[in-house]
A and B are shown apart, each in its own frame.
Chain A
Amino acid sequence: MQILLQSFTKILIPGIKVTIPLTLASFALGFAIALFLALVQVARVPVLSKFARIYIWIFRGTPLLVQLFIIFFGLPSVGIILDAFPSAVIAFGMNLGAYNAEVLRSAIQAVPVGQSEAAALIGMSYPQTMIHIVLPQAFPIAFPPLFNSLIGLVKDTSLASSITVIELFTTAQQIAARTFEPFALYCEAAVIYLMICTLLTWLQAWLEKKMVWRTPEDQLTG
């Protein structure tokens, strides 16, 4: 019991200082990649849409852990040396980009095509239609699966422990090795992951309520 209390903050601090920034940075990179891959496919940009398919094929078809190892341990042999943290961000971001590209593509395609036709007929350009009409409606559709992948990512960041990133799980491992209490320490790590994910789940529910195109009744009168 004593060990659990003493180790709690020791595990929580790298959790807050490393796991959360790692998650957010990877997710941001992944989202940017996903948006790019989805847009070039929807707009049928000649070479780039083909590239997007190949990219998605490779990154969805190979294990994340292997991608992580290639970037951190493999790239130095061709002269590209990256620190552990940026390596992890790049690996997670590129992997997530492939999955979320499909999420965003299907969400964009779920916006009724009639609205894009209407936009074109009133003189809006393709980029204007995307920015003002399609993407604002695609985003709420994509939101639950995007958030799913964010929650998945929180847990996947524990893989970064294998390339020497000192994050939440690495710290738990170190303390477990020192105190010979693996069961207690790993359960504790699991609880902290669960806490982070619970907060995110609440955040998701709250945000989803905000994303409905309705004027509240009390604002309609007067």
Chain B
Amino acid sequence: MLEVRELRKSFGNNEVIKGIDLDVNDGEVVAVIGPSGSGKTTMLRCISFLEKADHGMIRLDEHQSDIVTISKKQIHEMRMHMGFVFQAFNLFANKTALGNVMAPLTIARRMNTDRAREMAMGLLKKVGMDQRARYYPGQLSGGQQQRVAIARALASGPSVVLFDEPTSALDPELTGEVLDVMKQLAAEGTTMVVVTHEMQFAREAANKVVFMDNGVIWEQGEAGAFFEQPKTERALQFLRKQ
């Protein structure tokens, strides 16, 4: 499980995260929605330590730390139990699809190559990319790259996978294949936090919805109830625009 308490982050004088609490239980799929610029992506980047937060506490399974004073070693420890999927895929351009999925195992964990290849092929099969294992990212479509990136994020067997607008950089006809993979993961009980603009996905695949605006979580709760009857005026207005 993932627990975040009192998360704050400013860029200069601009406070973009204003004290956020987030709880993600094992097997839960949490959709984080809200208008652009509401701090959703920054929140994910703080949780994964890509941005240094100004205040907060984080707990991932048995690892717990203050988010500001956390040591490099503890960051590494926590990251080993997180998966992250970027909006821009960020596959390693000098490695094949297979090489990308093997990297967390062979390079970061020094796993034996044969075993890593076997595991990586299994993951590529899961995202429907095993036939493209020998392609380089430049030879794949956006949707295919994102599926490989999901396989890479899963390689280390993470406790939670964070998705940062995974379909926002894709053409509409390619979003479906990525969302299908994510729905499948959700159905298998993968713990996921998904920052998304895909309301359809949030409605269908998420157990819980977190609605953010202006650096604050206004509302969080069971997905069905949220979409049926949002409690706050802001959420209501946001949903009307969708």
Contact = CB atoms under 8 A, between A and B. Distances in A.
Contacts of B137: 213
B138 A132 contact: no
B86 to A, nearest CB: 6
Interface of A: 112, 114-115, 117-125, 128, 132-133, 136-137, 213-215, 219-220
Contacts, number: 76
A137 B107 CA distance: 17
B82 interface: yes
A128 B110 CA distance: 11
Given A115-B90, A214-B138, 10 more contacts: A112-B88, A112-B93, A114-B88, A118-B92, A121-B82, A121-B84, A122-B104, A123-B76, A128-B108, A219-B134
Interface residues of B, number: 32
Contact of B79 (A123, A132, A213, A220): A123
A119 to B, nearest CB: 7
B238 interface: no
Contact of B94 (A128, A213, A219, A220): A213
Interface of A is mostly: helix
Nearest to B105: A122
Contacts of A219: 134
Contacts of A124: 103-104, 107-108
B103 A121 contact: no
B96 interface: yes
A123 B92 contact: no
Contacts of B103: 119, 122, 124, 132
B139 A214 contact: yes
Nearest to A135: B94
Interface of B is mostly: loop
A213 B136 contact: yes
A164 to B, nearest CB: 45
A143 to B, nearest CB: 14
B127 interface: no
Interface string B86-129: 10101111111000000110011100000000000000000000
Contacts of A220: 134-135
A216 B152 CA distance: 23
Residue from the set A117, A121, A125, A215 with the largest chain B CB neighbour count within 10 Å? A121
A114 B135 contact: no
Contacts of B86: 114, 117-118
B108 A123 contact: yes
14 contacts: A114-B90, A117-B50, A118-B92, A118-B152, A119-B103, A121-B50, A121-B79, A122-B79, A122-B103, A123-B80, A123-B104, A125-B76, A132-B103, A213-B93
A112 B145 CA distance: 16
Contact of A112 (B82, B90, B109): B90
A117 B156 contact: no
Contact of B136 (A121, A125, A214): A214
A15 to B, nearest CB: 37
B107 A118 contact: no
Contact of A137 (B93, B153, B156): B93
Residue from the set A118, A132, A213 with the largest chain B CB neighbour count within 10 Å? A118
Interface string B70-87: 000000100110101010
A215 B90 contact: no
B75 to A, nearest CB: 9
B38 interface: no
Residue from the set A115, A122, A125, A214 with the largest chain B CB neighbour count within 10 Å? A122
A215 B135 contact: yes
A122 B108 contact: yes
Q: Which A-B residue pairs are the 4 nearest by beta carbons?
A: A123-B108, A114-B90, A122-B104, A118-B90
Contacts of B134: 215, 219-220
B48 interface: yes
Nearest to B104: A122
Contacts of A125: 76
Contacts of B155: 122
